[in-house]
Chain A
Amino acid sequence: MKNLKEITTRLEIAKKNIRKNKIINKSSNVTSLGKAFKISTELVAAVVVGTTLGFILDNWFGTKPWLTICFFFIGAVAGILNVIKSAKNMHKNFKE
């Protein structure tokens, strides 16, 4: 009988530990580092894509520097929008 009691208390302690670990895991460093990597490249990639798109369109229409300049800025806007979007998503996930 004493043995059974001991096992139950041990089980309770183990369960408590699992619960504690879960809370720690939720804000684990690995996922936040991953998010940081994600945001940093998102900003750059949109600028690169925008500028390339502008360059291609310039070659098409023969309006040499103008569309590249325009699309550079549009790309920068898109990059910042991407960062804001993913930051909002993170915030939402964090609240949950």
Chain B
Amino acid sequence: MTINPMHQFEVYRIGPEINLGAVNLSFTNSSLFMVASSITILFLLFLGTKKKLLIPSKIQLITEMSYIFIAKMINDTAGSSAKPFFPFIFTLFMFVLFCNMIGMLPYSFTVTSHIIVTFALAALIFIGVTIIGFIKHGIKYLELFLPKGIPIVLLPLIVVIEIISYLSRPVSLSVRLFANMMAGHTMLKVFGGFVISLGLLGGWLPLSFSVALIGLEILVAFLQAYVFAILTCIYLNDALNLHH
């Protein structure tokens, strides 16, 4: 048996091939796990909000905790003016979290370990936030690129630097999530391969490493979803309240 640590990231088609013009819209294992995580979220929230008890059941408690967690995060980082965006950020956080967590199950596929998925999410946020900024402030939104108190000689350079730092937002947002998930899963697979190749005699050490790494990976899976959501809030805050 050959062990290829990158084999787990392969995307393959499930069912018939669907082509819409030049675009390949076939249902893949990636889409399957996206649908699975969405259905899990819907199911959890549905069960949690069905019976509204005064003393909450366990599922109701989880649902309420996730609501409070996100609501508090938005309030702390972006202020009360970001309240209308709660549904979007809640959906984003839950989707990324469940994609990461379902990816931790054995034999499953991690949707967020593909940069095209994370970059699509990040680009959506970036474009959305830019549009919101322009709607809210009009042409004054461009002041974001003009920090106050800069000598005129330095102005062209500073503007270019600020534009690059603005454009780097979606890249850093997407690369962070993608790199963490891919590196973690590759590492798990490599240590798993060591267990098999070292056999009964020497395999215990990498096995214990693997157990520790799974704990770390679950932490990282939660943390990356949290960072993704909180950075969305920070960017939203920049667009809503210009304070440069």
Chain A interface helix/strand/loop/mixed: helix
Residue of B nearest to A39 (CB): B172
Do A48 and B230 have beta carbons less than 8 Å apart? no
Do B180 and A45 have beta carbons less than 8 Å apart? no
Do A42 and B227 have beta carbons less than 8 Å apart? no
Assembled-state Cα–Cα distance A37/B177 (Å): 10
B-chain residues with CB within 8 Å of residue A78 when the two chains form the complex: 161-162, 164-165, 168
Do A49 and B223 have beta carbons less than 8 Å apart? no
B-chain residues with CB within 8 Å of residue A79 when the two chains form the complex: 165, 168
Task: Tally inter-chain residue pairs, CB-CB below 8 A.
Answer: 65
A-chain residues with CB within 8 Å of residue B222 when the two chains form the complex: 30
Chain A residues bordering chain B, tally (CB within 8 A): 22
A-chain residues with CB within 8 Å of residue B160 when the two chains form the complex: 74
B48 to chain A, nearest CB (A): 23
Within 8 A of B (CB), among A21-70: 30, 33-34, 37-38, 41-42, 44-46, 48-50, 53
Assembled-state Cα–Cα distance A30/B161 (Å): 31
Known contacts: A34-B226, A34-B230, A37-B227. The answer to whether A53 contacts B171 by CB under 8 A is no
Do A49 and B161 have beta carbons less than 8 Å apart? no
Q: State whether the Cβ of A14 lies closer than 8 Å to any Cβ in chain B.
A: no
B-chain residues with CB within 8 Å of residue A38 when the two chains form the complex: 172, 176, 227, 231
Known contacts: A33-B223, A34-B227, A37-B223. The answer to whether A45 contacts B161 by CB under 8 A is no
Do A41 and B165 have beta carbons less than 8 Å apart? no
Q: State whether the Cβ of B116 lies closer than 8 Å to any Cβ in chain A.
A: no
Do B161 and A42 have beta carbons less than 8 Å apart? no
Q: State whether the Cβ of B45 lies closer than 8 Å to any Cβ in chain A.
A: no
Residue of A nearest to B172 (CB): A45
Q: State whether the Cβ of B224 lies closer than 8 Å to any Cβ in chain A.
A: yes
Within 8 A of A (CB), among B172-188: 172, 175-176, 179-180
B164 to chain A, nearest CB (A): 4
Do A45 and B168 have beta carbons less than 8 Å apart? yes
Give the residue of A30, A33, A46 whose beta carbon is less than 8 angstroms from that of B168: A46
Known contacts: A37-B176, A37-B180, A37-B224. The answer to whether A74 contacts B161 by CB under 8 A is yes
Do A48 and B161 have beta carbons less than 8 Å apart? no
Do A81 and B172 have beta carbons less than 8 Å apart? no
- Convert B44-57 into 0s and 1s, putting 1 for each residue whose CB lies closer than 8 angstroms to a CB of A: 00000000000000
Do A42 and B172 have beta carbons less than 8 Å apart? yes
- Convert B202-233 into 0s and 1s, putting 1 for each residue whose CB lies closer than 8 angstroms to a CB of A: 00000000000000000100111011001100
A19 to chain B, nearest CB (A): 18
Q: A30-B226, A79-B168 are in contact. List 19 more A-B contacts (CB 8 A).
A: A34-B230, A37-B180, A38-B172, A41-B172, A44-B172, A45-B171, A46-B164, A46-B172, A48-B168, A48-B171, A49-B168, A49-B171, A53-B164, A74-B160, A74-B164, A75-B164, A78-B164, A81-B165, A82-B168
